Chain A
Amino acid sequence: MRVLEGIDVAAMKRLHPDRRAPLWWGVLGLITIESAVVLAFCVSYLYLAAHAEVWPPTGEAPPLLWPSVNLVLLLLSSVSMFLAGQGINRGNKKQLAIGVTISVVLASIVLVLRSLELMAYDFGWQEHAYGSIVWTISGFHYIHVTSMVLGSTVIAILAWRGYFTRERQIGVVVDTNYWYFVCIAWVPFYLLLYWGPRIHAG
């Protein structure tokens, strides 16, 4: 059999900051899986609510203020993350480092606020199914914010050390995409946990 040269790929790029990179697809896969988990949690919440006589058992919906502040902070952190990504797309290492750092700080504030809010709850997860699902969803999201803060801290360190360049930035792309996901995942949880009981009652 004659073996012929079909294409020569020697000159093709080895580093891909965009959707050509398998890792970009990998994180998309992770986000898909996690979105399905988010959905399953929401469905479980609705299932329990639909079968309850009073929901929440005390008849009172949880306070709105701090969760709304958190929502704003998370969305803001997504914006700074976005700007960080834009920076490195133009090869601006400084903008990347600052942007990621700001996002990490914003999300850390969210963690502090969330901790205070959860500690102030007057029901535990052992009391009733409502308490269980609220605490579980809150914990689930809390852990995700923690992971993204930790992961992005590593990215920030590398960014300050000047590791990332316009070509070599797949790590940043992956991290920002995951960041958007965790922030956006808060939206359905926020609506369900804080607005749900209000609309339900009203």
Chain B
Amino acid sequence: MTRQHTNLQHKVHDSPEETKLLAETWYSPRGFPGWFTQVNQRMIGRRFIITGFIFFLLAGILGLLIRTQLAGPEQEFLGPELYNQFFTMHGTVMMFFFAIPVMEGFAIYVVPLMVGTRDMAFPRLNAFGYYIYLIGGIVLFGSLLIGMAPDAGWFNYVPLAGKEYSPDYGVDIWTTMITFIEVSALTAAVELIVTILRLRAPGMTLNRMPLFVWAALVMSFMIVFAMPAVIVSSTLLILDRLVDTQFFLVDSGGQPLLWQHLFWYFGHPEVYIILIPALGMISTIIITFTGRPIFGYTALVLSVVSIGLVSFGLWVHHMFTTGLPQLGMSFFTAASVTIAIPSGVQIFCWIASLWGAKIRFATPMLWVLGFFAIFVIGGLTGVMVASIPFDTQVHDTFFLVAHFHYVLIGGAVFPLIGALYYWWPKFTGRLMSEKAGKWSFWLAFIGFNVTFFPMHQMGLEGMPRRVYTYTAEMGWGDLNLLSTLGSFVLAAGFGVTLINAIWSLYRGQPAGANPWNAPTLEWATESPPPSYNFRHIPMVESRWPLWDWQRSGERSVVTGLSHWRREVVLTSVLDATPIGVQILPKPTIWPFTSAVAASSGFIGIIFHPIFFVMGFFLVFFTLVAWFWPRRPWKEDE
């Protein structure tokens, strides 16, 4: 807000009774029944993060088992069927059940705090999205336990994924779980967009929004525009498999390539859906640990937005070997190389920010530096495979596996772990051990490179991906053994962080409100934040509110929100002037029942189409119950 308010300001007096009342108003019910009714954004965000990391652990174990199988030539440890299920599950779980939800989880937890509000715009929808995700994940992993897991790869190409070549339930489960993730990701995306656009603290103009919030906004828009393509493709495939439509069957005029187009129209942006929040995390960490404003805020925002846009024009580079027309292919090569420009802008702004700064090499910063090293290599091989002749050569070899793990682990997982160390004290009130953090980083960094760097060479020597073994004469044995050893070092690295996290809950040093001296609003409240997030909604006058307040010794807040009802301030989209107050709902069971109703429909259709009708009506009834106005109506005036 502008100066006009600062003239006649009163000091705010907090009476302890009012604070207590506020805490009760925003209280989340605990215990077993309570768990099913919670709607507060921090509860839901925390669940997304924890569940996401559990899936990371499970899929990581699958990765290790895959590596164990490949450690030497002609091993029989897994066998071809299991191997197919394992790499499919590994890829699918990592991409859909770990990377996207965990990023959403961080956004759901951190964004409302960063923009200085008390919850998200649609708290119940938020809870609904989480239950859908959880149920989908349980079903998917359950299928592995009973040996019916999907096995047609994480992008599930037809005709392999058609009924003729995959008659089992595995692919049905894959398409169904895609539906779960679509629903859950879309609800989170809409939720984040509206929260970011309407619930920012007064004075937080778009131009002052923290970079992580920008990243979350771009990620959400990308989900909104990318997911529909996969909704359609998975629907078409489900129909082909369940009611004998002919979309992908050549004999009756179907087009298998339609699957690839629709899937990759989503699938390429999906990689950036994971990457972009990570970019936001990196900027956030760099600002805090250099202790000064970032270089090129506007350039960073614009480049994130343009990475988001350009990534929608790149999907065909996953299809260079499908024999598309030459001209089209050249266009997509050019577009694929273009993405290097905004990515370059990011890197240069960060380098400029680090240049000459007094950097504190705390653990979060270390993971960011690790990101630089790894991501640059991943980017280089990316430019290489954007060239069609080269791609034709290495397509479906381990070169690709090396490339995308450099991008995904370097580009997303390293910043993510950095962010975990960074926000952990906010989440829990305690710091993780710095010493263990450094051990974890170095083990993971070395282990990562030992695992994945040799894969470039294996790929160039022709070792195909997705093949469960190889003969000794091929001469790939030594590199594979090295890679497998590396993967255990890598896993140990992540394991140290896991232990560190659990240990810190009991023994970690108490953090206080702002242990890193960071400038953004989430650090303006206690750690962990109270049920209402902020005692008063803060007001903001620059990009670095906490640093301003330290200098001036005073700050302004919003007053006049109710203590006995969940209320947040609505502000205008561009310049965040307050325009109203919104009442938010209390904890309720209906999101959970709706999620169960929807899941029963989704899962049921695998066995019979009638479950679609049943699910439809069940969802309808639960939604009516959910939105039915609660008496007394007068209350909300």
A residues in contact (CB < 8 Å) with B: 1-16, 20-23, 25-26, 29-30, 32-34, 36-37, 39-41, 44, 47-48, 51-52, 57, 125-133, 135-136, 143, 147, 150-151, 154, 158, 163, 167-168, 171
The 3 closest A-B pairs by CB, nearest first: A10-B560, A6-B556, A36-B228
> In the complex, A100→B406 CA distance in Å?
56
In the complex, the answer to whether B620 meets A147 with C-beta atoms within 8 Å is: yes
Is B245 part of the contact surface with A, judged by Cβ < 8 Å?
yes
Who on chain A is nearest to B261 by CB?
A: A47
Q: How many residues of B contact A (CB 8 A)?
A: 72
Question: Given that A15-B637, A29-B193 are known contacts, is A9 also in contact with B561, CB under 8 Å in the complex?
Answer: yes
Who on chain A is nearest to B250 by CB?
A: A129
Stretch at the interface among B84-92, B232-240, B515-523: B232-240
In the complex, the answer to whether B190 meets A29 with C-beta atoms within 8 Å is: yes
> In the complex, A48→B539 CA distance in Å?
55
In the complex, the answer to whether B194 meets A171 with C-beta atoms within 8 Å is: no
Partner of B122, one of A2, A22, A51, A133: A22
Is B17 part of the contact surface with A, judged by Cβ < 8 Å?
no
In the complex, the answer to whether B636 meets A44 with C-beta atoms within 8 Å is: no
B contacts with A: majority SS: mixed
In the complex, the answer to whether B245 meets A6 with C-beta atoms within 8 Å is: no
Contacts of A47 in B (CB 8 A): 255, 258, 261
In the complex, the answer to whether A127 meets B262 with C-beta atoms within 8 Å is: no
Who on chain A is nearest to B536 by CB?
A: A3
* Interchain pairs with CB closer than 8 A, number: 199
Those of B391-416 within 8 Å (CB) of chain A: none
Q: How far is the CB of B117 from chain A (nearest CB, A)?
A: 11
Question: Given that A7-B1, A150-B620 are known contacts, is A52 also in contact with B253, CB under 8 Å in the complex?
Answer: yes
In the complex, the answer to whether A136 meets B559 with C-beta atoms within 8 Å is: no
In the complex, the answer to whether A26 meets B255 with C-beta atoms within 8 Å is: no
Contacts of A127 in B (CB 8 A): 246, 252
In the complex, the answer to whether A125 meets B245 with C-beta atoms within 8 Å is: yes
Is B82 part of the contact surface with A, judged by Cβ < 8 Å?
no
Partner of A163, one of B122, B239, B247, B633: B633
In the complex, the answer to whether A2 meets B553 with C-beta atoms within 8 Å is: yes
B residues in contact (CB < 8 Å) with A: 1, 5-6, 9-12, 121-122, 125, 186, 189-190, 193-194, 197-199, 202, 224-225, 227-229, 231-232, 235-236, 239-240, 243-247, 249, 252-255, 258, 261-262, 536, 539, 549, 553-561, 567, 569-570, 578-583, 616, 620, 624, 627, 629, 633, 636-637
Q: How far is the CB of A135 from chain B (nearest CB, A)?
A: 7
Contacts of A154 in B (CB 8 A): 624
> In the complex, A136→B569 CA distance in Å?
44
Q: How far is the CB of B318 from chain A (nearest CB, A)?
A: 17
> In the complex, A150→B618 CA distance in Å?
13
Q: How far is the CB of B466 from chain A (nearest CB, A)?
A: 27
In the complex, the answer to whether A133 meets B247 with C-beta atoms within 8 Å is: yes
Partner of A7, one of B202, B627, B629: B202
Contacts of A125 in B (CB 8 A): 239, 243-246
In the complex, the answer to whether A22 meets B245 with C-beta atoms within 8 Å is: no
> In the complex, A163→B581 CA distance in Å?
21
> In the complex, A12→B202 CA distance in Å?
14
